[in-house]
């Protein structure tokens, strides 16, 4: 089984992840890759209390996630790995070199970002990071929930589907 | 700012926040049943970052003096935002998993503080979940 979904979502653990994807994929473990969360016991406890009892959660900074990726990938249970930003996923992809697909699940509006989809807003630097992800051999698609259409990266960056 | 009954007799006593139109629908139902929807503030999470959600809840607490936050899912962004607020201000109470029975009990229970009313309402809400049939 291992990691069934690699997702970028600035909300990290929330309803779409735990229920929206967690239920249909029968997710039994989550890997939350975030340097800040991994360094804070309180933040880890906050997210730990948010997940249902049937799920286990691992916290890792990007470096630890690269080191421990073989363990996640060989876990017999279905898993989901999430980063809160594109840069962290890019570092992970370049470090692991075994990630084939990345799901862009939610990058929301803030100053300097332009709307690409209802749930995807990007700075020019983030657009470049996504191109870099695909250049690294990863297929990037945007899809907030399983029932939605997976939007290919060129269409996302084009912004015509918003 | 707040008295024991909440942010004042004419002010909302709680903030309701959830996914999609959940909060608005729930508060609309409270209004339809008992006309007390003005005791609740509706917040939607749609299109908001976790920081936006937390900021919006904080703004409503400051504006209304409400001391209670109702959210829908324990794993939801609103619940996580509310837990950050409760950590800083233990006088605020969070109730996650809110349903209509919870809110109805809460808006009618004006003889105790909003935080006490929230605890009692949560128990009523739990008890309202029943399964009928085989």
Report the predicted TM-score, pTM, of the whole model to 2 decimal places.
0.85
Other C-beta atoms within 10 Å of A60: how many? 21
Cα(A119)–Cα(A142) distance, integer angstroms: 9
Contacts of B49 in chain A (CB under 8 A): 10-11, 108-110
Rg of the Cα atoms in chain B:
14
* Residue B47 tokens, joined: 């299109």
A145 touches B at CB < 8 Å:
no
Inter-residue contact B113 to B5 (CB < 8 Å): yes
Residue B49 to residue A10, Cβ atoms within 8 A: yes
Residues in B lying within 8 Å of A, measured between beta carbons: 19, 47-50, 52, 72-77, 79-80, 83-84, 87
Cα(B132)–Cα(B117) distance, integer angstroms: 28
* B77 three-state secondary structure: helix
Distance from CA of B50 to the nearest CA of A (A): 6
Residue B80 to residue A15, Cβ atoms within 8 A: no
Other C-beta atoms within 10 Å of A160: how many? 9
Spell out the per-residue pLDDT of chain A, length 162, in tens: 799 999 999 999 998 899 999 999 999 999 999 999 999 999 999 999 999 999 999 999 999 999 999 999 999 999 999 999 999 999 999 999 889 999 999 999 889 999 999 999 999 999 999 999 999 999 999 999 999 999 999 999 998 776
Cα(A106)–Cα(A128) distance, integer angstroms: 17
Residue B83 to residue A119, Cβ atoms within 8 A: no
Inter-residue contact B68 to B95 (CB < 8 Å): yes
| Greatest alpha-carbon span in chain B | 51
Inter-residue contact A112 to A156 (CB < 8 Å): no
């Amino acid at each position: 089984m291992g990691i069934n979904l690699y997702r970028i979502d600035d909300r990290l653990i929330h309803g779409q992840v735990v229920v929206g994807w967690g239920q249909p994929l029968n997710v039994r473990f989550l890997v939350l890759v975030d340097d800040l969360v991994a360094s804070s016991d309180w933040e880890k406890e906050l997210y730990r209390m948010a997940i249902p009892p049937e799920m286990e959660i691992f916290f890792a900074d990007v470096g630890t996630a690269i080191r421990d990726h073989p363990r996640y990938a060989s876990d017999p249970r279905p898993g989901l790995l999430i980063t809160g930003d594109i840069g962290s996923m890019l570092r992970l992809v370049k470090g692991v070199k075994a990630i084939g697909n990345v799901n862009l699940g939610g990058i929301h509006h803030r100053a300097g970002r332009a709307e690409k989809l209802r749930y995807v807003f990007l700075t020019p630097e983030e657009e470049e990071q996504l191109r870099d992800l695909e250049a690294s051999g990863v297929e990037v698609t945007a899809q907030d929930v399983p029932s939605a259409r997976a939007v290919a990266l060129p269409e996302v960056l084009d912004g015509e589907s918003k | 700012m707040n008295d024991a009954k909440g942010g004042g007799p004419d002010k909302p006593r709680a903030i309701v926040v959830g996914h999609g139109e959940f909060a608005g629908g729930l508060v609309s139902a409270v209004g339809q049943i008992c006309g007390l929807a003005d005791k609740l503030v509706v917040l939607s999470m749609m299109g908001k970052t976790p920081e936006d959600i937390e900021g919006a809840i904080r703004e409503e607490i400051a504006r209304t003096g409400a001391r209670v936050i109702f959210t829908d899912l324990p794993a939801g962004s609103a619940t996580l935002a509310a837990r950050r607020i409760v950590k800083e201000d233990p006088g605020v109470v969070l109730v996650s998993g809110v349903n209509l029975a919870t809110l109805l009990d809460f808006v009618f229970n004006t003889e105790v503080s909003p935080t006490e009313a929230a605890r009692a309402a949560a128990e009523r809400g739990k008890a309202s979940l029943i399964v009928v049939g085989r």
